[in-house]
Amino acid sequence: MSDLQVEVKRIQAEDAQLAYCCMTEVPTPWPEALCLCRGWIAQNLGRYAEGYHAQTPEGQVIGHLYYAASDRALFPYEVEPGAAVMYCEWVQRRYQGQGVGRRLFEAFASELRAQACHGLLVEGTDLEGQMDYRHYTARGFRVIHESGHRKLLYFPLSKSSVQARPLRPSIAPRRGSPVEILILSGYLCPLDVSTQMLMLEVAREFGDQVVLRQELLTPETLRRYGVANGVFINGRQKLTGAATEEAIRQAIVGEM
């Protein structure tokens, strides 16, 4: 499909219901999580999230790129103002390798340059399929901080370097009963949200053996906890991505 026609457009509120094309390549197994994430985008567009969609002439969204200005980004780093933080980008698999991702990124970078933006930050990983950092180093990003599987990368635009340091997580591990579960709900990834929603159901099975608390991700909770998202069982983040009901149940039992 070398003649693929694609329009890259900055998303508006009415485009939120077409967000997360990663979940529409096949019928999603997490429709409620997808609905929550789209609602979050609609409510927070222009504040904590902005973005671009790549769509066909028929209006089908086949690629996305979501980001925020560094002084408003819900991001587990302290970053100087004047930069941008990319949350997520994706091109549907059957359209990969046809220049869609390049067009999305070029439109994004062009607008940032026009705004005299310092540069672009993204948190990548060395895990396949989860914002692979090698995808970004191939574009000219460089790693400026790494911890475990996570790597913070920077792409300079008007400034060759940027001040960015990780927040210090303040959720302390503990032992004992009742098991304490904290769900920090950032609505930027339907995979994570699907696990958070299932955790709410499974945790109720344990009655008073579990103390459950859920908080929405905001700048205040980001500063309080030093992390941007996750399910914490007795202070330990054990579950990421789309966890199964049995995996969640075992994670709780393992802390008892």
Q: Tell me whether strands 61-69 and 84-91 are parallel, antiparallel or unpaired.
A: antiparallel
In a domain, 11, yes or no: yes
Decide: 69 and 112 in contact? Cβ < 8 Å. Answer: no
Domain harbouring 62, CATH code: 3.40.630.30
My answer on whether 145 and 188 are in the same domain is no
d(CA 47, CA 223): 17
In a domain, 173, yes or no: no
Q: What is the pLDDT along the chain (256 residues), one digit of tens a residue?
A: 457 899 999 999 999 999 999 999 888 889 999 999 999 999 999 999 999 999 999 999 999 999 999 999 999 999 999 999 999 999 999 999 999 999 999 999 999 999 999 999 999 988 776 789 999 999 999 999 998 888 999 999 999 999 999 999 999 999 888 999 999 998 889 989 999 999 999 999 999 999 999 999 999 999 999 999 899 999 998 887 788 899 999 999 998 8
Domain stops at, among 166, 196, 214 = 166
My answer on whether 126 and 211 are in the same domain is no
DSSP E strand stretches across 150-207: 150-156, 164-166, 179-185
Element (H, E) at 253: helix 245-253
DSSP E strand stretches across the chain: 7-10, 50-55, 61-69, 77-79, 84-91, 119-125, 142-147, 150-156, 164-166, 179-185, 210-216, 230-233, 236-239
Domain stops at, among 135, 166, 197 = 166
Question: What six digits make up the tokens of 27?
Answer: 């019928």
Give Cα 132 distance to the centre of its chain. Answer: 13
User: Burial, 116: exposed, middle or buried (Cβ in 10 Å; 0-12, 13-18, 19+)?
Assistant: exposed
Domain span at 139: 7-166
In a domain, 171, yes or no: no
My answer on whether 135 and 201 are in the same domain is no
My answer on whether 214 and 145 are in the same domain is no
My answer on whether 154 and 205 are in the same domain is no
My answer on whether 22 and 111 are in the same domain is yes
Cβ count near 212 (within 10 Å): 15
My answer on whether 106 and 13 are in the same domain is yes
Number of domain units in the chain? 2
My answer on whether 150 and 248 are in the same domain is no
In a domain, 227, yes or no: yes
In a domain, 172, yes or no: no
My answer on whether 23 and 144 are in the same domain is yes
In a domain, 224, yes or no: yes
Domain stops at, among 108, 137, 166 = 166
My answer on whether 208 and 82 are in the same domain is no
pLDDT of amino acid 2: 54
My answer on whether 93 and 62 are in the same domain is yes
